[in-house]
Amino acid sequence: MRYLPHTHDDISEMLETVGRRSLDDLFVTIPQSCRRTSEMKLPEALTEWELNALMEDLSEKNAASPEYRFFLGGGSYDHYIPETIVYLMNRSEFATSYTPYQPELSQGTLQAIYEYQTLVTRLTGMDVANASLYDGASAFAEGLLMALRVTKRNAVALSKAIHPFYRQVARTYLDPAGCEIIDLPLLPTGRTDLSAMDKPEALGALAIQSPNFFGCIEDVNAAAGIIRNAGGLMVATFTEPIAFGLYRSPGEEGADIACGEGQSLGIPPSFGGPGLGLFAARSKFLRAMPGRLVGKTKDKAGRRGFVLTLATREQHIRRERATSNICTNSSLCALASAMYMASLGGTGFRELAKLNFDKAEYLKKGLAEAGWEVPFSSPTFNEFVVRIPGDGKAVRQRLLQNRIVAGISLEEWYPDLANHYVLCATETSSRSDMDKLIEEVRK
């Protein structure tokens, strides 16, 4: 979008229309102590061509150049996106679509969301899925809130192997409500220690991520059995849904609610966003779901039509019955993921998952043989943890100087895991790039 500056005459005319004398009058409701009193220190203005040249110079300094080899995951993954999706997403009827507030006029958008919901239920093994949420972290927090509404309890147990950002968002949601959050420790295998749960009958939900933040596959079925016997709900979250092409889905593992990130499904990492919140559940919990849900029906003439079946925000129903304050869905990202899943199909999805598994196993084995330790024995997908002998930061810095970005340090979130890093390999990781990392480790 072009930048269109307003002239002084434009500003004066707009102020007159809204009944204000100056721009400062627009902010009278903001306390003076909260307002800036000095001018902002901005550089001199540039012409459009000077600005373009500056941005080009800055882009050349960006670390994300083809010369770098990346082995990063941690909730955002690099996957090939079929060119058909890129083409379709650029069509104006898709790129300009928005949340259908007048459903009867939005049949195309509603049908696309309906198809997306169907594909998400198949992916997660659940009965119903909503029209999407903002991202994996917000979907996870909403899943916990939903479990508390259903069980009418006030405590949840979260695995410490859940993505640290997801756990922080969950605390942001739950702490103000006075909800008790219990952290479950880790086993030496990289999985969650389920035996550490004290009084599970007091829990509204037990939350496990699989594959977890370390890439390890959790025993979701065992966790589901424990919390179900105690009258609570099993919330299964994830950051890498492509794993379900190889491993059993949350629904098959006994989860009541499945929620997580869908960025891997046809959405580029884009330096951290946008994401896509996948949310699905058992049909008996339909009325407690957050967000909105599109359904299929027939009109008076018997013709097929799509409608907004469920919208449980306070905007649509009585405030005291609202399930969330989610006001929209990630429609464009949801559409991209639907195209991606439909393009791959069941067979393609399985082949892609197997390729991702093989790539990561190749790199894991090579690094272990080169001298790095693989501390966790649990099966993994895409990601795995290594411990670098000696000064891990120095080793990683040396690799960075050789244009290799070798994983994410765990020490910030897990102080007892100093010199531990989580690395990722997807189908985009070439054998030559992985061999280059292994070769540098051997030096």
| Structure tokens belonging to residue 252 | 């098959």
* C-alpha dist (Å) from residue 183 to 167, 237, 288, 332: 10, 15, 25, 35
Is residue 289 within 8 A of residue 265, CB to CB? The reply is: no
Q: How many contiguous H segments (helices) and E segments (strands) does the chain have?
A: 11, 14
Is residue 89 within 8 A of residue 332, CB to CB? The reply is: yes
Radius of gyration of the chain (CA): 25
Residue entry with tokens 């244009």: 403
- Strands 180-184 and 155-159, by their bridges, are parallel
| Structure tokens belonging to residue 99 | 């949340």
Is residue 380 within 8 A of residue 218, CB to CB? The reply is: no
Task: Report the pLDDT value the prediction gives residue 150, as an integer from 0 to 100.
Answer: 95
Q: How many Cα atoms are found within 13 Å in the side-chain-facing hemisphere of 321?
A: 8
Which among 148, 346, 133 is positioned nearest to 231, based on CA atoms? 148
Task: Report the pLDDT value the prediction gives residue 1, as an integer from 0 to 100.
Answer: 41
Amino acid occupying residue 269: P
Task: Report the pLDDT value the prediction gives residue 18, as an integer from 0 to 100.
Answer: 93
Task: Report the pLDDT value the prediction gives residue 108, as an integer from 0 to 100.
Answer: 83
Coil/strand/helix, residue 344: helix
Task: Report the pLDDT value the prediction gives residue 312, as an integer from 0 to 100.
Answer: 65
Is residue 215 within 8 A of residue 382, CB to CB? The reply is: yes
Domains of the chain, start order: 69-81+345-442 (3.90.1150.10), 83-341 (3.40.640.10)
Is residue 169 within 8 A of residue 137, CB to CB? The reply is: yes
Residue ranges of the chain whose pLDDT lies below 50: 1
Is residue 208 within 8 A of residue 220, CB to CB? The reply is: yes
